[in-house]
A and B are shown apart, each in its own frame.
Chain A
Amino acid sequence: MKKLKEISTRLEIAKKKNKNNEQKNDGSNAASFGKAMKISTELVASVGVGTTIGFILDDWFDTKPLLIISFFFIGTVAGILNVFKSAKRMHKKQKN
């Protein structure tokens, strides 16, 4: 019984220390690195998807350079929108 009590007090102290450390480490390098990777790939991926869709539709309708150009720009806009959305989500999370 005595041993259990000792363990629980030690656990409490460790938890307190852990909490302090967590508060200090908020916005640490690792988390920011993950966020940066997430945002950058989101920006690039939808440009690629938009251009691919334009390329396929161009093949279907035989309008060679027209749709690929317009879908490239639409894809870029979608990428910016993606980044905007996830930045908004991060902001909301930080406020809470």
Chain B
Amino acid sequence: MATNPMHQFEVYRMGPEINLGGINLSFTNASFFMLVSALLVLSLLFFGTKKKSLVPSKIQLITEMSYTFVAKMINDTAGSSARSYFPFIFTLFMFVLFSNMIGMLPYSFTVTSHIIVTFALAAIVFIGVTIIGFMKHGIKYLELFVPKGVPVVLLPLIVIIEIISYLSRPVSLSVRLFANMMAGHTMLKVFGGFVISLGLLGGWLPLGFSVALTGLEILVAFLQAYVFAILTCIYLNDALNLHH
């Protein structure tokens, strides 16, 4: 059981079973770790902004760095008109980052290694960006699907292609995060299993690989949160400034 590399992704119930109208709403380990990462982000921001000293303490430094990091990212990719969406993108980035990083701790559960979680996040972004685009430009937002300077004969085909390319955004956004996290954690577990099965004689090589892969996974955990946030900024930019 312990050597099964997929065992770590199992969702199980914690506490009593809750059934609401045929929908299973029980509290699971996935909900628990989502709660933990949300609480960690909250407490980091709470304690980081409590004492505003000129020479920052470590926790204040981390808070200020994450703030400027996201603010700079929004400014660079979506322009100053996207400033008002900073709270949303900051929340998204910090939640994904903390979920990924908590998953790197032994005996924990990686929330983002389940496609339903990442797809829900991507769907929020997709629907939100579409609503923002329609609110800002009205029916003219549909011009996004009609590139300029295309001959009329090709237009129906191009519009279909553009629509598919637009619809593929949430899929690529969610699959990227989920596949990266799941593949990485499975690989770590497989190499960990090699260490046990090869024993004291041959286990040293996979052990080294395990250490190296852990480093790589921490890099991937940060990078995927960053990519998720930056793509949200790019989509927001498309919705806010129609002709780019």
Interface residues of A (CB under 8 A from B): 7, 30, 33-34, 37-38, 41-42, 44-46, 48-50, 53, 71, 74-75, 77-79, 81-82, 89
A50 & B180 in contact (Cβ 8 Å cutoff)? no
Across-interface contacts of A89 in B (CB, < 8 A): 234
Q: Is there an interface contact between B168 and A42, defined as CB atoms closer than 8 Å?
A: yes
Residues in B neighbouring A71, C-beta threshold 8 A: 164
Whether A42 contacts B172 by the Cβ 8 Å rule is: yes
User: Which range contains the number of B residues in contact with the other chain?
Assistant: 20 to 34
Instruction: Find A78's partner among B165, B219, B226 (CB 8 Å cutoff).
Output: B165
- A-B CB contact pairs (8 Å), 22 listed: A30-B219, A33-B219, A37-B227, A38-B227, A41-B176, A42-B172, A45-B172, A46-B168, A46-B171, A49-B168, A49-B171, A50-B168, A53-B164, A74-B157, A74-B160, A74-B161, A75-B164, A78-B161, A78-B162, A79-B165, A79-B168, A82-B165
Provided the pairs A37-B180, A77-B161 are in contact, do residues A45 and B55 lie with their beta carbons within 8 angstroms?
no
B164 touches A30 (CB 8 A): no
Interchain CA distance A22-B67 in the complex, whole Å: 20
* Contact B231 A38, beta carbon cutoff 8 Å: yes
Q: Which residue of A lies closest to B167 (CB)?
A: A49
Contact (Cβ within 8 A) B223 A34:
yes
Number of A-B contacts (CB under 8 A): 66
* A3–chain B nearest beta-carbon distance, Å: 9
A46 touches B55 (CB 8 A): no
| Contact (Cβ within 8 A) A41 B172 | yes
Expressed in whole angstroms, the Cα–Cα distance for A73 and B178 within the complex equals 26
A18 to chain B, nearest CB (A): 13
Cross-interface CB contact of A45 among B157, B171, B226, cutoff 8 Å: B171
Task: Assess the A7–B223 pair: CB atoms within 8 A.
Answer: no
B92 at the interface (CB under 8 A from A): no
The 6 closest A-B pairs by CB, nearest first: A45-B172, A46-B168, A78-B164, A78-B165, A45-B171, A41-B176
Instruction: Decide: B172 and A81 in contact? CB cutoff 8 A.
Output: no
- Chain B residues near A81 (CB-CB < 8 A): 161-162, 165
Q: Beta-carbon contacts of B206-237 to A below 8 Å, as 1s and 0s? A: 00000000000001000110110001001000
Contacts of B223 in A (CB 8 A): 30, 33-34, 37
Contact B219 A45 (CB under 8 A): no
Q: Are A7 and B171 in contact (CB under 8 A)?
A: no
Q: Does B71 contact A (CB under 8 A)?
A: no
Residues of B within 8 A of A46 (CB): 164-165, 167-168, 171-172
B175 at interface by CB-CB < 8 Å? yes
Q: Is the CB of A45 within 8 A of B227?
A: no
Which of these, B160, B165, B175, B219, contacts A41 with CB under 8 Å? B175
A78 touches B168 (CB 8 A): yes
User: Knowing that A50-B164, A82-B165 are A-B contacts, what are 11 other residue pairs whose CB atoms are under 8 Å apart, sorted by A's residue number?
Assistant: A41-B172, A45-B171, A45-B175, A46-B165, A46-B168, A46-B171, A48-B168, A49-B164, A71-B164, A81-B162, A82-B168
